[in-house]
Amino acid sequence: MKLRKVTAASAAVLALALTATACGGDDSGDNASSSGSGGGDKIKIGIKYDQPGLGLKTPDGSFTGFDVDVATYVAKELGYKPDQIEWIETKSADRENALARGDVKFIAATYSINDERAQKVDFAGPYLLAHQDLLVKADSDISDATDLNDKKLCSVAGSTSAQNVKKDFAPKAQLRELGTYSECVAALQSGAVDALTTDDSILAGYASQDQYKGKFKLAGLKLSNENYGIGVKKGDTETVNKINDALEKMVGDKAWEKAVEANFGPAEYKNEPAPKIGDLVK
């Protein structure tokens, strides 16, 4: 167990924890929160910073989006008020490592649950079902995955979107993998690529931005099922269980529905109904 910056209060908690776990080899005493069981000073949560409607850092430094609302609700259930949350940007390719290093306590960042990732991290959820789609210029004649052969297609490194292109529906497209979807949107606007592919939830958010209104359209394809989960460090079953309880409560008390309306309403994104915990749509 790594010991860092131990205050008097947390030393007492730590002493108790050590007694309780004896030589259990629990190494969850990481950087992500000052108390492994919640209710400490701060909690670090991974989100996206550039995905309107999901996870967005606004110019005034505040954070908005469905993932932000879900994460804030979950944090509350773990014992943290909004002002105790420290948001950390976790880009698609960084998520597994951020959890393994203990940079964040959990990640709510359009993070699809799949077998490969589940080898490295644990997931709570799912809390949203999205589908992979294409974003193209309003006057584009790309309307299907079969139109992508030899076309320049943008997606993000470390995403299921890029993987699905290569494996499944457009192996002959010229795939450009950038670091973020906002970089792909810029590439689409400039004509450097012909299409952008990722989850419809994300694409709808970009298409509805004032500066892009009328310029882009979604193809409306359901190329995959993306079950969004909340990632936690591998082996942290206690946190997974607590987050699952929080998600169930959020759906039950209608806070989930409210967050959907507030964040997807402006983009006119037609979301799927709330998924059941543990119920993955393959």
Binding residues vs ligand GLU (CB under 6 A): 92, 109-112, 156, 159-161, 198-199, 226
Residues 185/137, Cβ–Cβ less than 8 Å: no
Q: Measured from the CB of residue 127, what is the shortest distance to ligand GLU in angstroms?
A: 12
Q: In angstroms, what is the minimal distance from the CB of 90 to ligand GLU?
A: 9
Spatial distance between the Cα atoms of 214 and 145, rounded to a whole number of angstroms: 22
State the minimum distance, in angstroms, from the CB of residue 199 to ligand GLU.
5
Nearer Cβ to ligand GLU (208/227) = 227
- Cβ distance to ligand GLU smaller for residue 17 or 165: 165
CB 141, min distance to ligand GLU, A: 25
Q: How far is the CB of 130 from ligand GLU (least distance, A)?
A: 7
Residue with tokens 């390719």: 93
Full DSSP string of the chain = ----S--HHHHHHHHHHHHHHTT-------SSBSSTTS-SS-EEEEE-SEETTTEEE-TTS-EESHHHHHHHHHHHHTT--GGGEEEEE--GGGHHHHHHHTS-SEE-SS-B--HHHHTTEEEEEEEEEE-EEEEEETT----SGGGGTT-EEEEETT-HHHHHIIIII-TTSEEEEES-HHHHHHHHHHTS-SEEEEEHHHHHHHHTSGGGTTTEEE-------EEEEEEEETT-HHHHHHHHHHHHHHHHTTHHHHHHHHHHTTTT--PPPPPPTT----
Which is nearer to ligand GLU, 17 or 47 (by Cβ)?
47
The residue among 28 and 161 lying less far from ligand GLU, judged by its C-beta, is: 161
Between 17 and 145, CB nearer to ligand GLU: 145
Nearer to ligand GLU, 72 or 160 (CB): 160
Q: How far is the CB of 96 from ligand GLU (least distance, A)?
A: 11
Least distance from C-beta 164 to ligand GLU, angstroms? 9
- Judged by CB, which is closer to ligand GLU: 33, or 160? 160
